[in-house]
């Protein structure tokens, strides 16, 4: 496994952890994606519930700000540097999330996660020649299923490589889910600290690759 793939899979584990943590501690809210938040934002606007709508609009603004921040990092720096900063942002988000009280509005409480996962999505969007998100798994499941089907039909080595990569990403993501479920069950809101070792596992691969290129 290349250092790039190792880092990508480690961040997928962190992405799975973030996802299950948000779902279990913040009222079933998925903090790594904006789809449901945008849907509820429209619904809140149509219902005239402007308080929740504004909170959800703030969450969307955090997500957009994370994307802009990551794009600027990528544009004006080298990719490994952007990835190191992305891991640092995830670290900071974990520390903030651990101190937000349980009674806080779920969307408001996840503002740090909205920003951090958006940065991670842009910074770790591809590895080994494949486009692959580390913060959610729907498209990765599709790519894995396509790879398996194509390999069974053609026996091409490239399809085998593809299914191994996406299969590894899915496995790591859901191992992160399992670890996050256990940590949250043990420590509740403070269980987010369990994500720090996963982030730390990705850092050496990125740093070593950057030094090798230098």
Cβ neighbourhood burial of 35 (10 Å; 0-12, 13-18, 19+)? exposed
d(CA 90, CA 17): 12
Q: Is residue 60 part of a domain?
A: yes
Q: Is residue 58 part of a domain?
A: yes
The answer to whether the beta carbons of residues 212 and 14 sit under 8 Å apart is: no
Q: Is residue 214 part of a domain?
A: no
Domain that holds residue 151: 3-126+133-209
**Which pLDDT belongs to residue 212?**
67
When pLDDT is averaged across residues 73-98 and rounded to a whole number, the result is 91
**Which pLDDT belongs to residue 74?**
86
pLDDT tens per residue across span 128-183: 999 999 999 999 999 999 999 999 999 999 999 999 999 999 999 999 999 999 99
What are the start-end ranges of the E strands in the chain? 126-127, 130-131
Give the C-alpha distances (Å, rounded to integers) separating 175 from 30, 88, 181, 200: 17, 22, 10, 16
CATH number, domain with residue 177: 1.20.1250
pLDDT tens per residue across span 86-131: 999 999 999 999 999 999 999 999 999 999 999 999 999 999 999 9
When divided into structural domains, the chain yields a total of: 1
Q: Is residue 120 part of a domain?
A: yes
Query: Looking at the predicted structure, is the pLDDT value of residue 198 above 80?
Result: yes
Whole-model pTM: value is: 0.94
- Residues facing residue 98 across a β-bridge: none
Q: Is residue 81 part of a domain?
A: yes
d(CA 59, CA 41): 10
When pLDDT is averaged across residues 68-89 and rounded to a whole number, the result is 90
């Amino acid at each position: 496994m290349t250092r790039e793939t190792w880092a990508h899979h480690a961040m997928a584990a962190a992405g799975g952890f973030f996802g299950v943590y948000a779902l279990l501690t913040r009222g079933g809210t998925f903090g790594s994606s904006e789809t449901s938040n945008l849907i509820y934002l429209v619904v809140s606007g149509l219902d005239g519930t402007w308080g929740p709508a504004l909170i959800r609009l703030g969450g969307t603004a955090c997500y957009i700000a994370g994307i802009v921040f990551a794009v600027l990092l990528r544009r004006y720096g080298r990719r490994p540097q952007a990835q190191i900063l992305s891991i640092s942002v995830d670290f900071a988000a974990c520390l903030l999330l651990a101190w937000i009280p349980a009674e806080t509005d779920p969307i408001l409480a996840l503002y740090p996660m909205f920003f951090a996962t958006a940065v991670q999505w842009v910074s770790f969007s591809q590895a080994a020649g494949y486009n692959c998100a580390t913060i959610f798994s729907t498209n990765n499941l599709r790519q894995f299923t396509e790879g398996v089907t194509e390999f069974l039909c053609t026996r091409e080595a490239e399809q085998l490589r593809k299914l191994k990569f996406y299969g590894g990403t899915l496995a790591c993501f859901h191992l992160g889910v399992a670890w996050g479920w256990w940590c949250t069950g043990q420590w509740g809101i403070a269980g987010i600290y369990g994500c720090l070792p996963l982030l730390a596992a990705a850092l050496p691969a990125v740093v070593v690759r950057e030094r090798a290129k230098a």
